[in-house]
Chain A
Amino acid sequence: MATCLGDAMFPQAVKGTVKLLRRLGHEVVFPEGQTCCGQMHVNTGYLREAVPLVRHHVDVFEPVAHGEWDAVVAPSGSCTGCVRHQHAMVARRAGDEALAERAEAVAGRTYELSELLVDVLGVTDVGAYYPHRVTYHPTCHSLRMLRVADKPLQLLRAVRGLELVELPDAEVCCGFGGTFAVKNGETSTAMLADKMRNVLGTRAEVCTAGDSSCLMHIGGGLGRLRTGVRTVHLAEILASTEASQTPAAAGSAGGVRDEPAEAQR
C-alpha cells in the first residue's frame, strides 16, 4: 500500500519500504490498481463520498484476505489506521454490511511498517546504516490508533551509525491533522511551532517519523525557516546501507525531504 501521498509526493518512502523488505528476503508486490484509502475524505466528514474509495481499496487488496499475499504494509500510521479503524465504520454507516466485513478481513492483515517488521517478521535489526543525528516524532495515529509504542525506536536503535536523540514532548501532535492544517491553519501553525522548538532543541540534523504527511508538515515548517534540519521517513532510514550512503544522499538542508535536489537533476 503505497498510499496516495507516498505515491505522488514521497515516492522515496515507498521505494525505501520495497528495498528494505526485499533486502530482508521478502517478495514485494505493488498492486497497480491502488489509489487512496480515503482517509482525507473520512476525516473531513465526507463519509458517504469515502464509500467508493473504501470499496476500491478493498477490491484491490482483497487477495490478502484470501491468503494470496501474507500481509499488506504501508509506510504510514494514519493510512493503516484508517484501514483498520475506519473502513468498516464507513461501510456500515452506508448500510453496506458485506463491504464492512470484507474491509475487516483486509484490515486484519494490514500493517504499518514498524508493526510488520517487529510484530510479524520479528526483526528489530534490519541491517541498516545511517550515520546521522536523528530524533523521532511518534505520529499520533501510529501511537494512539495503532499503538505501535516504541517499535520504531527499537528499529532505530539497531541502525548502525545512527545517533538517536530523544524528542521532548514527543507524543504531542505536530498540528498536521489532515485538512485541519488548512481549515484551522493558524492553530495548526501554533502547534507546529512548539514541535519545531522541540526538534531544534535536540540539535538533530534529521527528524524522522512513520508518516510522510506529518513529516511534510514538520519539514514544511523547518524548511520555511531554513533551520538546517531535514525530515526523512523511517522507511528511508531503515532502507539505508553503507552502499547507499553517498555524500549526495545526505540530503538537502531544505528540510522538506531527503532527496528533492537529486531527483531534480
Chain B
Amino acid sequence: MSTTHLGMPAVRDDSHDTGLPTYSPAGQGNLRGATSFPKAAHEKLLDTQLRRNLGKATGIIRGKRAGVVAELDDWEELRLAGSAIKADVMARLPELLEQLEENVTARGGHVHWARDAAEANRIVADLVRATGADEVVKVKSMATQETGLNEALAEQGIAAWETDLAELIVQLGHDAPSHILVPAIHRNRSEIREIFLREMPNVDPALADDPRELAMAARAHLRRKFLTAKVAVSGANFAVADTGTLSVVESEGNGRMCLTLPDTLITLMGVEKLVPTWSDLEVFLQLLPRSSTGERMNPYTSTWTGVTPGDGPQEFHLVLLDNGRSAVLADEDGRAALHCIRCSACLNVCPVYERVGGHAYGSVYPGPIGAVLSPMLTGISGPDDPNASLPYASSLCGACFDACPVRIDIPNLLVQQRAASVESHPRPTAQDLALRAAAVAMSSPGRFAAAEKGLALGRLVAGRKGRISSLPWPLSHWTDSRDVPAPPAETARQWWARTGGNDDEQEGRA
C-alpha cells in the first residue's frame, strides 16, 4: 500500500497529462453517490418490498450457483488459474493492450483510448454522429453505465436504447441499475408490469404480470429497433490480446442482435478486461456463467475479431477506458480488484447487499466488489466523501471471497480501503482520536488494566438488571437494538492473579 512503496509515483486526481496513475475525475460518470452508505441504507432498510424482492432473487441465484459450481470437481483449480491469469495480465497490461490494438487494427477495427469517462463519452458520441445516426441500440455494459454514456449521448441529441430486459426495465422506469448482472433485481413482476404499461407505446393493456408475457412485450417493443438500427454500442466481457478477439456473454440474444445487425459497432471496454491468449478464455468461459447466472453456460457467447467481410458490422471501433484503473493498478494489493469479471456472485452472497440493495452504494458497482472498486477508482477525498463510507459497508464476513471466481481477497481489500479512508482525514476525527487513545491504552498491560477499571462504571449503569439497554452516541447505534451485558465483577486477568486459574468452581457460586 501507499505508505510502504517509497518509489511509487503519486496517484493524481486531476486530468492533466502527467503520465502518472490517475483517479477517475470527480464529477464524471457514476462512480460516486450523493450520500454516505449508512444514510442511504437507512432509507432502503425501511422498504419492505425491496427487502422481499432482493431476498427472494438473491436466494434463488445463490442456490443455482451453488448447484452448478458443485458439479465441477476442478472448480478450485479453475479459480486458481483465473486468478493467476489476471495477475499476469496486470503485470503486462500496457504491452498486452498494445498487442490487442495491433491485432484489432490489423483486422480492420479502429482502436481509441480514453483517459476518463467524459473523454470516452465524447469519442463514442463523435463516432455515432459521424455515421449520421441519431439513435443507437445498446447491449448491457457496465463500462457505459460507469461513464454515464446514455446521458452524454442524449445531450448530443442521440437516443440510446437499452436492449437487455433488465436494463430496459431500469431505463423505462427512469431508475438506476442496482445489480451488475440483474440491474432490475430490486423490481418484482407487478412493478415491472406497471412500468411497461406506463412507458411502452402500443403495449397490450391486458398485459399480465407473468414473466413470460412481460418478456414477450419487451421482445415486441425492441424487435423493430434491432432490425433497423444502424449503430450499436456494447461493452465487452473479454478481449484476447494475442488474437484481437472481443467477446460478449449474454442470454437474451439482444447482444447478438446488436453485435450482428447494425452497420457500425462501438465497444467501450475498461483496460483491465484482457486475457493474454485465446486459450485463456477456456478458464473464464467456465468461471463466468456458473458464477453469474448459475448456469453451466449462458445461452449466447459471441466472439468477433475486427471486421469480417459479409458478416456483421463493417465498421468496428474499440474504445479503451482508463478512468481510474491506472490508479488501482498502481496499488500492489489493490490491483486485484481489477481481476473482477463482473459476475456479481459476491453481491448475491453478501448479507449487506441482500438487505440494502445496490442503490445504497451510490456507484454503479455495488456490493462487496463495488465497495472496494468504487473508492479505488475515484480515490477518497476525505471523511465526507460518500465513497469513504463504502469500505465500511461490510461485516467482513468473507462470503464474497469464497464466491469470487477469480479469488479476489475482497475482505482484505475492504480493510485496505478502510485504511485509505482513515488516512484521507485532513484532521483527526472523533473516531480517530478514540481509536488512537484505545491503541495507546491497549498496547501496555498496565494501561489496559487501568482502563478496565472503567468497567465498574458499566456495572453501575447496568444495575440490578445485569444488562445495559441504553448508551450515549455513537454506542447508541448498538443499544438501539441490542443490550450490553453488565461487565463482570472480576476480569479474567484479575481472576488469574487471584487464583492462578485454580478455583473456578467456587468462584461465582459464592
Q: Do chains A and B touch in the complex (CB under 8 A)?
A: yes
Q: Which residue of B lies closest to A21 (CB)?
A: B501
Contact between B439 and A53, CB atoms less than 8 A apart? yes
- The 0/1 profile, CB within 8 Å of A marked 1, for residues 80-105 of chain B is 00000000000000000000000000
- The 0/1 profile, CB within 8 Å of B marked 1, for residues 185-223 of chain A is 111111110000000000000000000000011011101
Report the bound CA distance from A102 to B477 in whole Å: 38
Q: 10 additional contacts, CB 8 Å, given A49-B436, A185-B477, A190-B355? A: A6-B492, A9-B455, A35-B444, A46-B419, A48-B3, A93-B1, A141-B396, A178-B396, A181-B482, A184-B37
Report the minimum CB–CB distance from B499 to chain A (whole Å). 9
Contact between A182 and B398, CB atoms less than 8 A apart? no
Report the bound CA distance from A189 to B478 in whole Å: 9
A contact residues around B253 at 8 Å (CB) = none
| A46 in complex: contacting residue of B396, B435, B443, CB < 8 Å | B435
Contact between B481 and A189, CB atoms less than 8 A apart? yes
Closest 9 CB pairs of A and B: A177-B395, A45-B418, A220-B482, A185-B477, A144-B398, A173-B397, A11-B492, A256-B485, A140-B397
A19 interface contact, C-beta 8 A = yes
- Segment among B182-190, B240-248, B273-281, B386-394 that sits at the interface with chain A: B386-394
A164 interface contact, C-beta 8 A = no
| B394 in complex: contacting residue of A56, A180, A244, A259, CB < 8 Å | A180
Q: Which residue of A lies closest to B440 (CB)?
A: A52
Report the minimum CB–CB distance from B433 to chain A (whole Å). 11
- Segment among A26-34, A65-73, A152-160 that sits at the interface with chain B: A26-34
- Segment among B38-46, B106-114, B154-162 that sits at the interface with chain A: B38-46
Report the bound CA distance from A191 to B422 in whole Å: 26
A contact residues around B412 at 8 Å (CB) = 89
B contact residues around A260 at 8 Å (CB) = 466-467, 485-486, 488
Contact between A45 and B391, CB atoms less than 8 A apart? yes
Q: Which residue of A lies closest to B458 (CB)?
A: A9
| B488 in complex: contacting residue of A11, A93, A243, CB < 8 Å | A11
| B3 in complex: contacting residue of A6, A43, A50, A95, CB < 8 Å | A95
Contact between B396 and A43, CB atoms less than 8 A apart? yes
Could you show 12 A-B contacts with beta carbons less than 8 Å apart? A8-B492, A32-B497, A35-B448, A45-B417, A45-B418, A172-B399, A182-B475, A183-B38, A224-B482, A256-B467, A256-B483, A262-B508
Known contacts A186-B41, A223-B483: A144-B402 contact under CB 8 Å: yes
A2 interface contact, C-beta 8 A = yes
B contact residues around A53 at 8 Å (CB) = 439, 442-443
- The 0/1 profile, CB within 8 Å of B marked 1, for residues 230-265 of chain A is 000000000000011010100010111101111111
